Amino acid sequence: MRAAVLFLLVAGVAGAQFKSTATLVIAPTTVTDSKGKYIDALEPADLVLYDNGVRQPVQVDESFNPISLVVVVQTSANSAAILDKLGSSGILFANLLAGDRGETAIVTFSDEVRTLRDFTTNSDSLAAGLRSLHVQGNGAVALEAVMRSLAMLAKRRSDRRRILLVIAEKRDRSSKVKFPVVLREAQRQNVLIYWLTYSPFLEPFTAGPKHVKSKDPNKDGDALPPDMAPGNLLSVFTELAQQGKPDNSLELTRTTGGRSIGFLKQEALEEAIQAIASEVHRQHIVSFTPPPAKAGQYHAIRIEVKGHPEFTARTRAGYWSMP
């Protein structure tokens, strides 16, 4: 499966034509039929975009500008099993944007945010960084990590597509930054956010068995029982306590045009990576000049496929007008 994934990722990168400026709104759009299959090669006349209910003239590009991607990984104690899976699947992330002009950075977070790898095209460095992931605390400042990543993306050239891939719990536990601030910044930058989610309680049961390391040949290599220490039991109460909080993964992905995908086992993680890669490289890049409006006004947008009510077009929920 991994070989197929890598072929898809390498084949999916192409030269891009659209221009991203402060006066353009970029709306990456995924179009699927009633069976969920991607619809390609649509013309500008095929896509109808509404800004606050008013139809707008659009430009649709057939291929993509180079991508700047930040992979954000939660490294708190209840994520240990996830870190093992990511270490084994690192090559998939390293090649998610394979190509001469794609670049990837890695950010981790727990009690604080760390930049593990700045933007690079070196897949070996990225894979090594993912293999080096380890537990770094008990907190989960997810929103601070997203803000750090957005600040990094803001410094990239304006003609690059900006994508943020978060691998973390659905809900924030420790952040001090306010969610509306993060959401507005993501929309202002035309950043597309994807979120891979998991259950901190269930994940430890999917980890591979650990083994005894001993000089005694009769004991060395013996399998250890699953870890049911208080830390794991505590995750039950922690997860229950978070149920009443907003689901950051759904809100950030919905409003920017991405997706939130849950996974449990290694295979499901790799399938989720494949699904995101396929979607990113088959989107229609819709752009339009927003109508005059007061700075700070929110505009809801939606897209339809002309003459095809059976098709589903998914894009960002809206944008904030700029000064």
Q: Give the helix/strand (H/E) hosting 148.
A: helix 142-154
Q: Are 264 and 203 in contact (CB under 8 A)?
A: yes
- Give, for all 323 residues of the chain, the pLDDT tens digit: 444 433 333 333 333 333 333 478 889 999 999 999 999 888 889 999 999 999 999 998 755 678 899 999 999 988 888 888 888 776 676 676 655 578 999 999 999 999 999 999 888 888 889 889 999 988 899 999 999 999 999 999 888 889 999 999 888 878 999 999 999 899 888 899 999 998 766 545 454 544 444 455 565 555 444 444 434 444 444 544 555 567 888 989 998 999 999 988 888 888 998 889 888 888 899 999 998 888 778 899 999 999 999 999 999 998 888 76
What residues have CB less than 8 Å from 172, skipping those under 6 apart?
140, 141, 142, 143, 179, 245, 248
Q: Give the helix/strand (H/E) hosting 285.
A: strand 284-288
- Report the pLDDT value the prediction gives residue 164, as an integer from 0 to 100: 95
DSSP output for 204-267? GGGSPPPB---SSTTTTTPBPPP---HHHHHHHHHHHHHTTS--HHHHHHHHHT--EEE--SHH
Residue found by looking up tokens 């904030």 in the block: 320
Tell me the pTM: 0.79
Residue found by looking up tokens 């190509």 in the block: 99
Q: Give the helix/strand (H/E) hosting 173.
A: none
Q: Are 32 and 38 in contact (CB under 8 A)?
A: yes
- Report the pLDDT value the prediction gives residue 237, as an integer from 0 to 100: 45
- Report the pLDDT value the prediction gives residue 18, as an integer from 0 to 100: 36
Q: How many whole angstroms separate alpha carbon 138 and alpha carbon 235?
A: 10
- Report the pLDDT value the prediction gives residue 215, as an integer from 0 to 100: 52
Sign of torsion over alpha carbons 260, 267, 70, 288: negative
Which domains, and CATH codes, for the chain? 22-62+285-320 (no CATH), 67-280 (3.40.50.410)
Coil, strand, or helix at residue 5?
helix
Q: Tally the residues of the chain.
A: 323
Cβ-based neighbour number of residue 107 at 10 Å: 21
* The amino acid at 246: P
